[in-house]
Structure 1
Amino acid sequence: MKRVVTAKSWSPYLVGAGIGMHSWFAFLSADHPLGITTAMEHTAALAEQAVVPSLEENNKYFEQESPKIGWQWMLVLGVFIGGLVSSLASGDRNAPAVPPLWHQRFGPSKTKRFVAAFIGGVLLLLGARIAQGCTSGHGISGTLQLAASSWLFTAIIFATGIATAFTLYGREGRNHV
C-alpha cells in the first residue's frame, strides 16, 4: 500500500473506484451528490453579505439559498489537503511555474501564465454555474445517476478541452497532454 501512496501516478481504475465509493458515501451520508462550485457561490454570497449587508434585503438569491460554510466547503478543503498530502508523499512537487510547452508557445512570463490560469479558472467556474454543476457535480455524480444532462455536459467538456488545447498549442500539444 505504501508503494501506491508514494507513486507519482495512480491507476485510473483505482482512482475511479475510489471516487465512485466516495460519491456513493456522499449520497448515503449527506443525501447529496458531490459538487464543489456551490461552495464558491456560497463564499461569494457570504462575502457580499459581509461587505454590503443591505444588499441581502433585495437579493433574490438569499430568498432561495441560505449560503453557508457547509459540507461542500469541507470537500473543497479535503481536495486541497488530499492534493498536498499526495504531493508530499510522492515527492512530486517540481511542477514548473511555466511549463515547457507554454514557454515555447507564449514565452517565459510567469505573470502571463498565472493571469491566463486565473482567467481560465474564472471561465470554468462561470460555465459550471451556468450549467448548474461542475465536473464533480455533473461528470461524477450526475453520470453515476445516468442523468442525460450530465452525460451531455461531460461530452461537451471533453470536446471543449481538446479543442482548446489544439487552439492554444496546435498539433505539438498532442504529445504533451
Structure 2
Amino acid sequence: MEERKSLNPYLGGALAGILLTLSVVFTNNFFGTSTTLVRLAGKLESLLAPSHFASLKYFQQIPPLIDWQAMFVAGIFIGSLVSAIVAGDFKMQAVPDMWQKKLGPSRGKRFLAAFVGGIIAVIGARIAGGCPSGQLSAMVQLSLLGFIAMPFFFLGGLTAVRFIYRGRD
C-alpha cells in the first residue's frame, strides 16, 4: 500500500497566514474559535432557560450570536471532511488505527481521553485568552500574549503526542 505524503507544515503555516490576511482585509475578522462553544451554549440556554440566561452578565457583554466565528468553525469541519474525502483518507471509526495500535481498542478509554483532553484544551484556551487560532491572530497584531501563549500550545501538543504515541514505529 502506498503511503500518502502529508502537507508540508511550513506550507500549511504559510497558507494559514495568507488566509488570515485575506480574512482581515476582506471581512475585518481575525481567526478565533474558543468563544464559539460558549456563545452556542448561551444561545441554547437563552431558548431553554430565558430567565436564567437574562441574569448572566457575561452574555450582556458578549451576546450569544451565531456569527462569522461559528461559520469559521463549521468551515474547519467541512473543509477537513472534504479534504479527507478527496485525499481518500476518510473512514468512519471510533478508535483510530494508531490509537488502537498503541493503547488498545477500548472505545470508552478513547472517549474518556478525548473528553478530558477537550476539557483541558478549552480551559487552557480560556485562561490564555484564546485558542491557537486566536493566538495566531494575536501574534499578527503583535500582542505579547500571543507570543507567550502560542509556544505553550505547541509544547502541550508535542508533549501529549510524545506521551501517547511514544515509540511509534
**Structure 2 length as normaliser, TM-score?**
0.85
Which residue pairs with 1:114 in the alignment? 111
- Which amino acid in 2 is paired with 1:33? F
Decide whether the 8 Å contact of 1:49 with 1:56 is kept in 2: yes
Equivalent of 2:20 in 19, 23, 37 = 23
Q: Deviations over 1:16-39 (max 9, x none)?
A: 222111111221233231011111
Report how far residue 104 of structure 1 moved.
Answer: 5.0
1:164 aligns with 2:163: no
Which residue pairs with 2:90 in the alignment? 93
1:72 aligns with 2:63: no
Which residue pairs with 1:3 in the alignment? none
Report how far residue 72 of structure 1 moved.
Answer: 0.6
Decide whether the 8 Å contact of 2:132 with 2:150 is kept in 1: yes
- Which amino acid in 1 is paired with 2:13? G
Equivalent of 1:149 in 145, 148, 155 = 145
Cα 1:81–1:99 change in 2 (3 A) is closer
Report how far residue 70 of structure 1 moved.
Answer: 0.6
**Structure 1 length as normaliser, TM-score?**
0.82
Equivalent of 2:35 in 17, 28, 38 = 38
- Which amino acid in 2 is paired with 1:10? L
Decide whether the 8 Å contact of 2:138 with 2:146 is kept in 1: yes
- Which amino acid in 2 is paired with 1:70? D
Which residue pairs with 2:7 in the alignment? 10
2: CA distance between counterparts of 1:12 and 1:166?
18
Larger deviation, residues 48-57 vs 103-112: 103-112
- Which amino acid in 2 is paired with 1:28? V
Larger deviation, residues 158-167 vs 84-93: 158-167
Equivalent of 2:56 in 39, 55, 59 = 59
Q: What is the percent sequence identity of the aligned residues?
A: 39
2: CA distance between counterparts of 1:153 and 1:143?
10
Decide whether the 8 Å contact of 1:8 with 1:92 is kept in 2: no
Which residue pairs with 1:135 in the alignment? 132
The number of equivalent residue pairs is: 166
Cα 1:13–1:101 change in 2 (3 A) is closer
2: CA distance between counterparts of 1:73 and 1:161?
24
Report how far residue 122 of structure 1 moved.
Answer: 2.2
Which stretches in structure 1 are left out of the alignment for 5+ residues?
1-6
1: CA distance between counterparts of 2:159 and 2:5?
27
Decide whether the 8 Å contact of 1:142 with 1:150 is kept in 2: yes
Decide whether the 8 Å contact of 1:37 with 1:133 is kept in 2: yes
Cα 1:87–1:165 change in 2 (3 A) is closer
2: CA distance between counterparts of 1:65 and 1:52?
18
